[in-house]
Amino acid sequence: MASASREHLDQGQQMNMFLNDFRAVIFDMDGLLLDTEKIAMSAFLESCKVYGYDPEIAIYLKCIGTNAPRTREILLEGYGEKFPFEEISKIWSQKYKKALFEDTIPLKPGVREILRTVKKSGLKMAVATSTKYSTAMEKLKKTELHSFFSVVVGGDQVKKSKPDPEIYLKVANLISEPAKHCLVFEDSDNGVLSAHRAGMQVIQIPDLKAPSSEISKLGHLTVSSFHAVQALIENKESLSGIKF
């Protein structure tokens, strides 16, 4: 019998097909674990208005998943070389942190449940985020998620931003696991491409932006939330090849 095409596999079958023999799970942070991308975008759009720039959501969306230097490049490409990045970035950061740290940092649905499940499985757990390391740790501690992870790598700790694979390869090295045995959860296309280029298996949970057609062609699994992932894990028959 001819094997079924990926398009005709249900989600449980896709999980079983793609995610065999992994030993570590690596998570992005903003937009995946933390529901912070909407806050960041709102702060950016407000900051642009201060300097008389019309907010361009399409330009901003290209920045998702990138570190500060790459974000600067994207904004200058989009708005022009005269775009006052340093000035706007300062206001942006102030507005973002004020909105974020004066209240409870919101988590994405199902985050604590999936982290407990992975922790219970004994798999290694790490974070690979484009956010500056010190800020990332501040967020993880405030949300009490930091204790789940043995390794956290920030965007200021690598030379090249996502979609370059450097950050995921660095995490793999720090946790002493081959890339092929690492499972990555990402929300952004830049993050998915980074993990894919590192040779890792990826599950995408989109946040502000749906996967592009080019990213979808990579053949990775895309689900709506961690609740969907949890349901697949609990489906023992469909996940017989996955060691949770």
CATH number given to 9-35+107-234: 3.40.50.1000
**Residue 164 carries which DSSP code?**
S
Each residue's pLDDT tens digit, 138-195 = 999 999 999 999 999 999 999 999 999 999 999 999 999 999 999 999 999 999 999 9
Q: What is the pTM of this model?
A: 0.85
DSSP 8-70: GS-HHHHHHHH--S--EEEE--BTTTB--HHHHHHHHHHHHHHTTPPP-HHHHHHHTT--HHH
Find out whether 177 and 124 touch, Cβ atoms under 8 Å.
yes
Each residue's pLDDT tens digit, 208-242 = 999 999 999 998 989 999 999 888 777 643 333 34
Confidence band of 244 (pLDDT split at 50, 70, 90): very low
Each residue's pLDDT tens digit, 103-134 = 899 999 999 999 998 898 889 999 999 999 99
Catalytically active residues are: 28
Find out whether 204 and 192 touch, Cβ atoms under 8 Å.
yes
